[in-house]
Chain A
């Protein structure tokens, strides 16, 4: 469990984190979203016990990160941004060092090492110096280090940054597999990741929490939520037909591919009605889709200072 209360960090006059409060329970995977420099990493560094907060507090599994720092650090697995590791050590030596530093008991040591090595497919590179490994492998070594002691809490700062699509998929599967009994915070600016791994998302900008919701709730803030987009053989007729539907609030046409998007009035559903009108008028539709909402649009509107619903026409 992770709990922060008005957690803040300032460097002189610069406020990096400005009173962030949230609580994450076991089984939750919390996605930290936000533009670069929003305070995501600083917040994670404070929870992981690297930086001390200048105001507020954070508790990990009930341990205060400042006054019970060692106890808190013991239950946390942390992947710092960029996955730093000692380049001159081999993967085996490095993980051995982490096992010692984490006081993994001797009878569990081999099992824990095998488990972390197996989960991240590091068997083939165990004897190689880490500095000779590819970026993807380095990242996986960093992840192996974080999960080595089977921590209750995982804090992963951009775990998939710099990985290829296959590796991203593997890391996401890994996070999903561990999510059941752990408390996990993942920071990212890849929005598709939020869908793939998180069941909750916090949007941070300028050191403040601007949104705290499930990915689906965030999407529903998009003006594209429940919108219907259509590619028709006769765009003009289709447009006229859409204008007849009572709950359609606005219609936009993509100048490039001629795709028409109809936006519903708030809280209304227009898909069935549109379907009906098209059938009545015999309008041939090549493609018709119900939009769930666009996270990138929600992200932009939230972090640029307006809320998504206010931005709706």
Chain B
């Protein structure tokens, strides 16, 4: 546990040692507000909730989270520090978790900094703060799932641009898994059971049900399993690819 926190602290500190963290946070806040107020018709709707904010969040994540995850392992491989990290008395799992949790905490910080929106709806009206809290939990879980996928893809290449693009595509497919765009590709040949299973993998479906304010165990489990699976895959990929 203490090794995870050692890796975690080093990693999180390194985000803020470079302009990356500040650029990311500013862009995230500007874009999320722009989506909320202009595209989401925050005022015109006349409802005191954060639905406009949360409904655009997956699309914002689609480009911003891969920008965080792309450097997770490919940078370590490119600079050779992976050799340093993995010859310290740290297990692979501790290294993967430490780095993932740091990235997750970083997104968490960015997400927390959207609190002025929450203050705004509370000033303007009387929103259901339980629903808003549940939505934030869902948003954080979804970010974790995006990051875990990105971690695995970043482990497979030493090129950050490649890692970014592949992560965007993989996340896009998962976000859209419940929609005809993805499902039509399977419907023609796959059995109905498989199509349903793929539809069940959709980020949007699970996120939408959490952001209605109902934290269902199945949705929680979905994100936790998703994160666990991709982190496990990350560890395997790192082990396989570290030699080259």
Q: Which A residues lie at the B interface, using CB under 8 A?
A: 11, 45, 48-51, 70, 73-74, 76, 78, 80-82, 84-89, 93, 97-98, 100-103, 129, 145
Contacts and interface: CB of A to CB of B under 8 A. Distances in A.
Contact of A80 (B3, B9, B10, B84): B84
Contacts of A85: 81, 84
Contacts of B84: 78, 80, 84-85, 145
Given A80-B80, A100-B6, A101-B3, A88 B14 contact: yes
A86 B10 CA distance: 10
Interface in B50-81: 79-81
B87 to A, nearest CB: 5
Contact of A74 (B2, B86, B89, B244): B89
Interface residues of B, number: 24
A88 B17 CA distance: 6
Could you tell me the dominant secondary structure of chain B's interface residues?
helix
B243 interface: yes
Nearest to A87: B79
B91 to A, nearest CB: 7
B80 A50 contact: no
Interface in B6-62: 6-7, 9-10, 13-14, 17-18
Contacts of B7: 101
B90 interface: yes
Contact of B89 (A51, A101, A145): A101
B1 interface: no
Nearest to A77: B87
8 contacts: A51-B242, A81-B80, A84-B84, A86-B10, A87-B79, A89-B14, A97-B10, A100-B6
Contacts of A84: 79-81, 83-84
Interface of B: 2-3, 6-7, 9-10, 13-14, 17-18, 79-81, 83-84, 86-91, 242-244
A101 B90 contact: yes
Given A81-B80, A88-B17, 4 more contacts: A86-B81, A89-B14, A100-B9, A102-B88
Nearest to B5: A100
B88 A73 contact: yes
A17 B69 CA distance: 35
Given A88-B17, A88-B18, A101 B83 contact: no
Contacts of A76: 87
Contacts of B18: 88
A69 to B, nearest CB: 8
Given A51-B242, A93-B13, A129-B17, A102 B83 contact: no
B89 A48 contact: no
B89 A73 contact: yes
B115 to A, nearest CB: 28
Contacts of B90: 101
A100 B80 CA distance: 20
A51 B10 contact: no
B87 A49 contact: yes
Contacts of A81: 80
Nearest to A72: B89
A103 B80 contact: no
Contacts of B14: 86, 88-89
Nearest to A73: B89
A89 B17 contact: yes
Contacts of B86: 49-50
